[in-house]
Chain A
Amino acid sequence: MNDRTAAQRPAGAGSTGARAGVPAARPDSEAPIPPTTEADQKKLVRPGDRIFAGLATGSGIFIVVLIAAIGVFLLLQAIPSLGLDKVNFLTSREWSTGDVNNMRYGILDLLLVTVVSAAFALLIAMPIALGIALFLTQYAPRRLARPFAYVIDLLAAVPSIIFGLWGLLVLGPVLTPIGEWLTANLGWIPLFAEGNVSIELGGTIFTAGIVLAVMVLPIITAVSREVFDRTPVTHVEGAIALGATKWEVVRTTVLPFGKAGYVSASMLGLGRALGETIALTIILSGTGAVFGWSLFDGGATFASKIALAAPEFNDPRTAGAYIAAGLVLFVLTFGVNAIARAIVAGHKEYE
């Protein structure tokens, strides 16, 4: 629906432009002229047109080729190492690549920790982002909304290493009593069970997820805000005319109109959370134990595992094992984006 409103404006702009150009032709009789000018314009290809079309097509092809090249590179580098893997790559929870003659590595735990921490982050960030976007577009006075939006965008400019250090040194200790309370009182829920790392040190998925939530917040907010802002005024006025209150206006016009955009914004945020590296290498405690479905477990995500090992790569076979893990992350992110697209495409009725 983004496209539709965007398309509306250029169309409007174009029509006024055409109208401005017409007066020169007006003096002649009106009927025969429009067809001839239209035909002329169709034949006429200006150099600007050609250059622009070429650049746009080139950019499109370039990005597709680039991504395909990344995929092929990862695959080529990963295949030889996958052959040396002594355990099942997809279902094993071990990760031991030190001895190239006995490499035992599987991505199950990496996958679970990556997905759980990103999902937890999204669970926190999505409602907050929705609230912020609605506040900025529907409730806040115009004069306040703009600077407020800038401030939120600033969050996206904070380097992730700062988020990481903040999470470990500042947020972690603050969350410790909350974490301890949760494990003590809600420990019977597997998600809040006592984990395999110490809550005191703050290196849990719980801490990491909250930091990730803060990191994806600006992305979801920025996109949702744009979408909500484009709710057709006629819809809103219609709702008001029918006697709707502010909340009813939001519920009956803004939300249905912006739902798909909001979901795809969240998927974009999820992609960011899945791929976040530096903040997580700092926050998440590594552990020898397997992931037990608790938020108070430690572990490593795909990206953090690779970053932690990368400085000491000295054997292509060891590096290949990590590249294979990277390949899974690539596929995972690809899948997430595909789902996002499908959701947007599947909600055309809102347009």
Chain B
Amino acid sequence: MKTKRHGAVLGLIAAGALLLTACGSDANTPGAGSTPAAGDSSVPVECGGKSKLSAEGSSAQQNAIATFIQAYKAKCPDADLAYNPSGSGAGVKQFNAGQVDFGGSDSPLSESKGEVAAAAERCKGNPAWNLPLVFGPVALGYKLEGVTDLTLTGEVAAKIFNGTVKKWNDPAIKAVNGSASLPDKDIKVVYRSDESGTTDNFQKYLTAASKGAWTQGDGKQFKGGVGEAKEKSAGVAQAAGSVDGAITYVELSFAQDNKLSIAKIDNGSGPVELTNETVGKAIDGATIKGAGNDLVLDLNSIYGSTTAGAYPLLLATYEIVCSKGYDADTAKAVKAFLTVAATTGQDGLADAGYAPLPKAFQDKLLTAIQAIA
């Protein structure tokens, strides 16, 4: 009896603590919500449904999802989501097998691999939607003594990463950097040794923006043929940060952590610095090639963009959800999570190295999320 009573007391304390922490984070949100435009949305969130969602997929959006989960728990105290960052391929596979409630992927479902059909089957005959919820800007991070202001065009970047341009003082680089004095040093290209969506997107960018200078194609393995590879974003950023003359492509937060200088990108309308605003502008300019609420992006419209002030090099990752075909509980929770992610969840994104959604794009996403049934 005694032990039972102790247990009850312990349980009460634990429950009380949970309740208190829930209250605490609830109270904090309005304060934090004041920063970017995307955050303070008045979209109502209907909590409830399945208490523990599961999702799996792309590791590129792992930290963004972690931010979303915090916001989701703050909004819906009893709810939670478990995200397993096992890679895009695994995410799609697990989603299509019905093992997880939604999948995260660096690329939309592929028709030719039969993923679209498999997803439709999983959603009980309804199409699955690709929702581009997380955008990660990719920085061209470099370390070069005495040079902290460097501009590159898609074409010059392609020539650096495929070995056509080998020295920092090459005329091609000088041509886009007018006054800067560039040293006579070898360029050391560092790339990802693991298969990664970042590499895939970077090579797609080079294909679209290099005016034919990049002929190697895309894919998750780097095809430039020069330089040396390190494991994961942390590895390439660390390596680039430890050698003078190194350059790499890496997610913004890793470049900042390793104190790399970040190149401006000139897409034809002048040098553009990597900031939330410039990335937002690029997202806003994206055309959507999916039908209706299936928001598959035409990446070439971002990568090849010549809009002034748009930073074109970014990684778009999708949440793959069923348009219909969830049971009522799951649908409710998925909707609640995605709504939170697209609204209050955007607040902490910049700190985690991602770009918050611009208003117009956020509206498109919310329309799609509300349509999930």
A interface, CB within 8 angstroms of B: 96-99, 168-169, 173, 196-198, 200-201, 203, 281-282, 285-288, 298, 300, 308-309, 311-315
Contact = CB atoms under 8 A, between A and B. Distances in A.
B50 interface: no
Contacts of A285: 193, 228-230, 239
B92 A281 contact: no
A153 B129 CA distance: 54
Given A98-B221, A312-B197, 4 more contacts: A201-B190, A285-B193, A287-B227, A308-B231
A98 B228 contact: no
Contacts of A312: 87-89, 194-197, 220
Interface in B101-152: 113
Given A96-B221, A281-B231, A308 B226 contact: no
Contacts of A287: 227-229
B243 interface: yes
Contacts of A196: 228
12 contacts: A96-B221, A98-B221, A99-B219, A198-B228, A281-B231, A287-B229, A288-B227, A298-B228, A311-B89, A312-B197, A314-B92, A315-B113
Interface residues of B, number: 35
A74 B341 CA distance: 42
Nearest to B194: A308
B7 to A, nearest CB: 37
Nearest to A98: B219
B195 A311 contact: yes
Interface SS of chain B? loop
A281 B89 contact: no
B269 interface: no
B89 A314 contact: yes
A239 B229 CA distance: 57
B188 A198 contact: yes
A168 B243 CA distance: 13
Contacts of B92: 314
A198 B190 CA distance: 10
Interface of B: 59, 86-90, 92-93, 113, 188, 190-191, 193-197, 219-231, 235, 238-239, 242-243
B330 to A, nearest CB: 24
A252 B229 CA distance: 50
B194 A311 contact: yes
A130 B46 CA distance: 69
B230 A286 contact: yes
B315 to A, nearest CB: 14
A289 B225 CA distance: 7
A195 to B, nearest CB: 10
A197 B228 contact: yes
B87 to A, nearest CB: 4
Contacts of A198: 188, 228, 243
Contacts of B225: 288
The 4 closest A-B pairs by CB, nearest first: A314-B89, A286-B229, A98-B219, A286-B193
Given A285-B229, A287-B229, A314 B88 contact: yes
B86 A311 contact: yes
A337 B196 CA distance: 36
Contacts of B239: 201, 203, 285
Given A311-B59, A311-B87, A314-B88, A203 B228 contact: yes
A29 to B, nearest CB: 68
Contacts of B87: 311-314
Contacts of B90: 311, 313-314
B169 to A, nearest CB: 19
Most buried by A among B89, B90, B191, B225: B89
Contacts of B113: 314-315
Contacts of A300: 193
A286 B226 CA distance: 10
A286 B222 CA distance: 10
Contacts of A282: 231, 235
Contact of A98 (B194, B220, B227, B243): B220
A313 B224 CA distance: 22
A200 B90 CA distance: 36
A313 B223 CA distance: 18
A21 B313 CA distance: 85
A201 B87 CA distance: 27
Nearest to A311: B87
A313 B89 CA distance: 6
Nearest to A312: B195
B231 A201 contact: no
Contact of A314 (B93, B193, B226, B229): B93
A187 to B, nearest CB: 18
B89 A315 contact: yes
B231 A309 contact: no
Given A201-B243, A282-B231, A285-B230, A308 B89 contact: no
A311 B192 CA distance: 14
Nearest to B221: A98
Contacts of B223: 96
B114 to A, nearest CB: 11
Contacts of B194: 281, 308-309, 311-312
Contacts of B220: 98, 312
Contacts of B86: 311
Contacts of B230: 201, 203, 285-286
Contacts of A201: 190, 228, 230, 239, 242-243
